[in-house]
């Protein structure tokens, strides 16, 4: 029993300090990466929506009246980006854009 050694309070505090410093460094970096991923996800959805709009045009000889038509006809699964922006049509016929949701 005399040869058994445990951790001292100082050693435990040093370990907790090191873990805390690592967390302080890591968490803000993860938040920045999450924002980047959401932005890239929106760009991918925008590109896909543009391609599906053109596919709709090829099959129906006309552009859909709104993005909702693409969703209801199964061309798109959703019209909202991961970052919260909503897809809509731009000023050019068939041009898909994204922006913050508009509340009536």
Q: What are phi and psi of 86, to 5 degrees?
A: -115, 140
Point out which residues pair with 88 in neighbouring strands: 97
Where in the chain are the domains?
A: 12-99
Give tens-digit pLDDT for 43-72.
888 888 888 888 888 998 888 888 888 889
Residue entry with tokens 């309070």:
9
What is the dihedral angle through the alpha carbons of 81, 76, 50, 34, rounded to the nearest 10 degrees? 20
More confident residue, 22 or 88: 22
Mean pLDDT, residues 77-102? 77
CB under 8 Å to 97, separation ≥6 — which residues?
46, 87, 88, 89, 90
- Rounded to whole angstroms, how far apart are CA atoms 24 and 73? 47
């Amino acid at each position: 029993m005399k040869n058994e050694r445990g951790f001292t309070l100082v050693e435990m505090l040093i370990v907790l300090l090191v873990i805390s410093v690592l967390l302080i460094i890591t968490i803000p970096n993860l938040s920045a990466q999450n924002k980047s991923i959401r932005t890239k996800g929106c760009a991918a959805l925008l590109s896909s929506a543009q391609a599906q709009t053109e596919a709709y045009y090829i099959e129906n000889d006309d552009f859909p009246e709104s993005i909702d038509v693409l969703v209801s006809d199964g061309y798109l699964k959703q019209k909202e980006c991961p970052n919260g922006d909503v897809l809509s049509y731009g000023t050019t016929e068939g041009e898909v854009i994204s922006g913050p949701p508009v509340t009536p």
